[in-house]
Amino acid sequence: MSTIETLPPFPWQGRVDAEDSGPTPRWHQHVRPLAAGSRGGVTLIGFAVDEGVRRNAARTGAAKGPHALRTALANLPVLGEPALHDAGDVHCENGALEAAQEELAVRVAAALARNSLPLVLGGGHEMAWGTFQGIVRALPSSHRVLIVNLDAHFDLREAAQGNSGTPFRQIHGWCAAQDRPFNYRVFGISEYANTQALFERAQAMGVRHWLDDALQSPAGVELARQALAADLQDCDAVYLTVCLDVLPGGQAPGVSAPAALGVPMAAAQVLIDEVLASGRLVAADIAELNPSLDRDGLTARVAARLAARMARGARALTDRPPQT
């Protein structure tokens, strides 16, 4: 049950400003297929999978998220982005989610070995288990990995099979087995989307979280930013993951569970920028884009803005010497 790319690569194409003067490149003119000699920059990896969403009894459709996100990225202007390499998509055949997560881990680790920042385009949030596994394989000496999640949900559920609601509980289990710290911070948690059991589990696991209610004002966002800045100073590496359902439903309708309140886009960008400014980011992903539920491609455009922001902010990160 292979998950290796078997479909044609995404056709990067779009607007060409042939009659305009000055630099006018767009993403579709800047992205290159991943090649044997590709190094540095950012590596785009599609996780065209929503088997975990199906297992979690949620609305499927996120498997088509990477295609929609690349389409939205194609016409964005290039304004200082580093080299962009497209590593294609991971697929899930016959419900073999664990094989797809393993393939994602392999691709994330390979990107890091090339001193390239892996940016995973999703796809269900079950991708987090694969992304994290890729990080710890590539960077075994980074024992203090901080996970920063912008999300309305803890994703700490217990289940017989891994799904889109379990990845950080799986990571906690792995950390406990390896006698490594579990450093997990979540911004945007909704008290109307998480059970009492999840709040209690988060507390028992030492998870620090900020409610969506607390991130509605500039003062609340600044307090969260300051707390995040302190955590960033006390880690070896950072894994940034953004579930699009953290945003208000009006800004991101194309997700399985649109938020009634959510964290405003401007506030989310402040937190993302703080991570980028730390210089410790080693991998990032964007989860839960569901084109079948999107309105006018709005969520895809929001996701593209966040992806481009991460890529632009990663310019200095990929100039670092390789880690071992």
pLDDT for the residue numbered 219: 98
Predicted pLDDT of residue 21: 87
> How do residues 82-113 score in pLDDT, each as one tens digit?
999 999 999 999 999 999 999 999 999 999 99
Report how far residue 157's alpha carbon sits from residue 238's, in angstroms, rounded to the nearest whole number: 23
The pLDDT value recorded for residue 4 is 47
User: If pLDDT is split at 50, 70 and 90, which confidence band does 315 have?
Assistant: low
Question: 41-74 pLDDT, tens per residue?
Answer: 999 999 999 999 999 999 999 999 999 999 999 9
In this prediction the pTM is 0.94
- CATH 3.40.800.10 matches 27-319: yes
Q: pLDDT band for position 317 (50/70/90)?
A: low
SS3 202: helix
What pLDDT is stored for residue 7 in this prediction?
59
Six-digit token pair at 291? Answer: 């084109």
Rounded to 10 degrees, what is the CA torsion of 103, 138, 315, 4?
Answer: -10
pLDDT confidence tier of residue 236, bands split at 50, 70 and 90: very high
pLDDT of 323 above 70: no
- Flag whether pLDDT at 324 surpasses 60: no
pLDDT of amino acid 122: 95
